[in-house]
Every structure is written in C-alpha cells, then in structure tokens.
Amino acid sequence: MEMDILNLLIGLFMIGIGFLVKAVPNLISGYNTMPIEKKKNVDINGLSTFLRNAFITIGLLIIVGYFFFKWIGFPLVASSIMLIIILPGIAIMVIKSQRFDHNEAKKSKLIYFTLVLLFAFIIGLFAYGSIPSKMVLQSNSIVFTGMYGIEIPANEIENIIITHSFPTITMRTNGFSSGTIKKGYFDTKEFGNILLLIHSNKPPYLIISKINGKKTIVNFRDKEETEIIYSKIQKAINK
C-alpha cells in the first residue's frame, strides 16, 4: 500500500514540476543563475516547453508503469520503477536541454560527470540496501548489521514471537524498499511506527518487542534461517 501512495505522489510531483518550470522559467537550474547577457542566448520558451513535457512524461511513466507491472505480476519491476524511469529520464533531459543554450561556453563535461556521480550514488544505494542483514549475538546485546542495522540490549527486550502474520503498512517514513526487501521505519496499522528488516514477503516473521513498546520485525529469505535466529535470540534473552 505504501508503494502505491509513494509512486503516485512522486509521479504527481514530477508532473507538477513540469507545469511549474513552464509557468516560471526562472526556476530552471542553471538558467536562473546566468547573467542577463547569457540568458538572451537561451531559447527559454523552447527549453521550458521541453522540460515541461519531459517532467510530465516521467511522472506519467512512473504512475502508469508501476500499476501496469504490478497488474501483470512483476512486483520487483513495479517497485523499482522510479529508478528505472527517473535515472535515464533525467539523463536524457539534461543532455537534450543543452541544445536550447546557444552560449559558446558549455559545461557538458561537468554535466556528464554529475550524471555519472548521480547514477553511481543511486545504484550504490540500491546495492547496499539489497545486502542481507546479519544477526550477531554479543555478550549483552543483539546486533543486526547492514542498512538500518540496530543494536538491541538483551535486557531491553520484553519478548520475541515468531508469526505468519505481517502488519498492514500504511506509510514509509524513513526507509528503503525494493521488491520484497523493506528496511527502515514504516507506519503500520497494528503497531504504529516500527523498524522493519524484511528480506522476503514469505513468513515466518520475528517480532521483537522492547520494554518501551517499540517493535522490530525481521525475516530472511530462507525460512530456516529465520527460525534458527528466533531460537538463538530466545536463548540469549532467557539467560
């Protein structure tokens, strides 16, 4: 549910930006800092129209693409649609927009370098987020490694249960989501805001409840691994 809302909002945001840059061209990055003499050499009407159409196209592709791939049964593609659409979309938009700038001095190398850095950052982020978390038992605490990893003192754990039920997610507040992987903080209907370290959409799930009421839900791609970790944590907190 949270991915439906997120993709819809991002798509609508892109569409809104498209109309905005056409209505107020001086918001366009690069153009708004140019000296008046150089602005005269920019086809601002053509540039703002191009950017409007590009942003609207990207926004529509995000919305339609997400629901289309979800409908035909490709949830991994659907959940990654923003990455698939935005990265090449922004790259094409930045490169193509240069043709409206008729000033002699071009900053194409800087633009390409910036795009490479952007690609590397986003791809690196998704790669890091996809690395499975590991559970490490320390003398007085339980540690989950990786993105949104956490250390939970054993004496702060009230209980841990293993269940086949998963709470209803209403919103992602600060987290990473790609396909079946969900890491970070999400609002849920049943428990409020919780930390998820989810690697599979198949049960079982471990619900770790702290004395202060905060909950962490964990599972792994392998069912047996989830069950083994449940047993290890049970032994650790019952010492």
What pLDDT does 69 receive?
Answer: 82
Please give the residue that has the higher pLDDT: either 74 or 193.
Answer: 193
Each residue of 55-87: pLDDT tens digit? 999 999 989 988 888 788 766 677 778 878 888
30: confidence class by pLDDT, cuts 50, 70, 90: confident
Is residue 110 predicted with pLDDT exceeding 70? no
Each residue of 149-175: pLDDT tens digit? 899 998 899 999 999 999 998 887 778
Q: Which of 46-50, 70-74, 96-100, 228-232 has the lowest mean pLDDT?
A: 70-74
| 219-231: average pLDDT | 92
Its sign, for the CA torsion 89, 91, 94, 100, is negative
Closest CA to 3 of 230, 121, 176: 176
What pLDDT does 156 receive?
Answer: 92
DSSP state letters, 171-236:
EEEEEEEETTEEEEEEEETTTEEEEEEE--SSS-EEEEEETTS-EEEEE-SSHHHHHHHHHHHHHH
Is residue 99 predicted with pLDDT exceeding 60? yes
What pLDDT does 86 receive?
Answer: 83
Residue whose tokens read 């609207």: 56
What pLDDT does 169 receive?
Answer: 87
| 19-39: average pLDDT | 85
Q: Which letter does DSSP use for residue 30 in this model?
A: T
220: confidence class by pLDDT, cuts 50, 70, 90: very high
